[in-house]
Amino acid sequence: MTTDAPCPFCFPEPSKIILSNEHALAFLDGFPVTPGHSLIVPRRHIVSFFEATAEEQAALFDLVAQMRQLLVAERQPDGFNIGVNDGAAAGQTVMHLHVHLIPRYAGDTEDPRGGVRWIMPEKAPYWKKQLNRG
């Protein structure tokens, strides 16, 4: 995907930044799937999680943990999904590494079982296949 638009994660509006450290920033997702859906991004413009140094990876997940604490205090979610879409084939649309921290709330979907497995809907309900084996 070629674009002349500036990277939206390289210079987020300072007032939107909730947490930061030497290597990463955390802010709310502009298109949240649940209330409190947050993004944690490296300060350095890199596309893939696998391009991040060990120090950057640690900084990202330090902010994931801190953001989780804030969300628990402010919104009392019942669970979380944590995800990274790494590459276009995995659904990445903004080519700047970002970690999704998605608070989950009881009843926010009819059946949350399978969580991130729903990226492949036909394979998500693996428990149904296990029941049919016998």
> Of 23, 37, 98, 100, which is the active-site residue?
98
Q: What does the pLDDT read at residue 30?
A: 95
Asked if 81 and 102 count as a contact pair (C-beta separation under 8 A), the reply is yes
In the prediction, which pLDDT does 133 show?
A: 53
Output the six-digit token pair for 79: 């669970």
Give residue 125's pLDDT: 73
CB 38 within 8 A of CB 101: yes
**What is the DSSP code (8-state) at residue 91?**
T
**34, 14 in Cβ contact below 8 A?**
no
Q: Which domains does the chain have, with CATH numbers?
A: 14-131 (3.30.428.10)
- Active-site annotation holds for 37: no
Q: Which one-letter amino acid corresponds to residue 18?
A: I
Neighbours of 80 (CB within 10 A): 20
- Cα 45 to Cα 42, 52, 105, 110: the distances in Å are 7, 10, 32, 37
Q: What is the pLDDT of residue 2?
A: 45
The enclosing H or E element of 58 equals helix 54-75
Q: In this predicted structure, what is the pLDDT of residue 119?
A: 79
Residue with tokens 């409190």: 36
* Model pLDDT, residue 117: 81
Which residues of the chain have a pLDDT value below 70? 1-4, 127, 129-134
The per-residue pLDDT for 4 is 63
Tens of pLDDT, residue by residue over 59-70, are 999 999 999 999
